[in-house]
Chain A
Amino acid sequence: MGRLLEVQALDKHFGGLHATREVSFALEEGEIVGLIGPNGAGKTTLVNLITGVVRADGGSVVFRGRDVTAQRPWQAARSGLARTFQIVQPFPQMTVLENVCAGALFAGHAASLAQAERDAMDHLEFVGLAHEARRPATALTLPSRKRLELAKSLAMRPRLLLLDEVNAGLNTAEIDQALALMRAIAARGVTILLIEHLMKVVMSLSQRILVLHQGELIAQGEPQAVIRDARVVEAYLGSKFAARQAAHGVAATPAADTTTEVHR
């Protein structure tokens, strides 16, 4: 198991806003790592920096041993880095199948259009959308669109999959289905970085958790340890609450309550 992704002192300013403050972390192959943090912590910015959507002001990103700090999004895609979006962006005038084909044909390095179509059908079956293949992508419901996005990303044959809030807007049953799907993806050998607000998902899936707050990586480690970390509690619930907890010597968040959604 090698180091798939190594991020060193990644830094980004947007005008006066210090969006990413010298963030450093690494991902090993085969891991499922969660990335959590309050709204505005800079999680999506971090993903944008890694995939080349936004150019870093400082620091480096090394993926599969190559420095990719200055790469463009399409280069990231072609080298095995796929991501999903919070707001799903399909190709509006194409069918579901054609959308997934796009992923297979370009980043997925399919040999031909025909091959891409075959790969695309496989991935649609994997996510359970095969029956919708010929429908226009815009006709899908929200959960189906999320699955389409997932299928498209998988068609890109990623080594590392960055899932940005895949579960936003889904109900409990749909979330359970999504969870199963994500486990199946990980079982195929894809490394996953999961940005999530739903603690249920993060806690049950992740082997490790990274916590981002105001652009800074304030904690990383085993899920149970991280959610008890004082700094994490302070970031989410405020310093007064953290101080009170520390004074009472009580655990920061009840670990048994796996359906708690972290309030924004």
Chain B
Amino acid sequence: MSLYAQIVVNGLMLGALYACIAVGFSLVWGVLNVINMLHGSFIVLGGYLAYFAWLHWQVSPFVMLLAVSVGLFLLGFLLQYGLVNRVVSQPVLTTLTLTFGLDMILYNLMNVWFDATPRRISLDLGRLDLNGVIVPNDRLLAMLLALAMTGVLYLVLRSSRIGRAIVAVRMDRDAATLMGIRVGRVYAITFGIGALMAGACGVLMSVVFPITTNITGLLLGKAFVICVIGGLGTVPGALVGGLALGLIESVAGNFLGAQSAILVGSLLMLVLLMTRPTGLIGKRGYQ
């Protein structure tokens, strides 16, 4: 019995991280109608920065969370404002290829500067034992922080001025323009937020998993799956999708092996897309 409980707990902890990974990606897609192929690389960048700060200067990753968030927000903002903004209303092929190309640059640079050795911040924080279900404290902390950040984002979107502007642009760009919202600026801020969430998640992940540039594609793929399951542009959707994927991978990983778990996720997404071409739940996505 405790095996199943362990699987579920593992799945939920994983899922919280996944939700954090996906929420930025989902927001950018939902608001700008752009798929940010850089997302996976942003995550790894955040993780690497946290790792090296911890390694060389003994900076705690939880402090780095703040630094990385700010840094990546700026990176995302500038990238969008300077480059992506020019093609935002172009067809899918153009925007996708552009972010794909930018990703190639970032990925290559990271490989050259940091190389692809897997790195992990090992904080020895002990573990909890709840009736036979083991919960490592570093994972627990990462999960709580991930949920906290997701929660903060949700509140920002609902209550702050810029948050509501973002939601307005997501719902109806032209109407938002007529309301006096500067859509270009909203786009840049949203992209920045996406990068911020990705980087922050990278920091949290580096405490739990070995981070290497080899997983950028993998992480991006997970973000896709979560968007298809949970819908685009909403925090609750990303949360549901993330938890769902976490659970699926935990179950599949336990019975079929780690590699197969990823395959299951991808196949699930393909099947979902083929049967419901606009995603499973949540708002109808942009095409």
Does chain A touch chain B in the assembled complex, meaning CB atoms less than 8 Å apart? no
| Partner-B contacts on A (CB < 8 A) | none
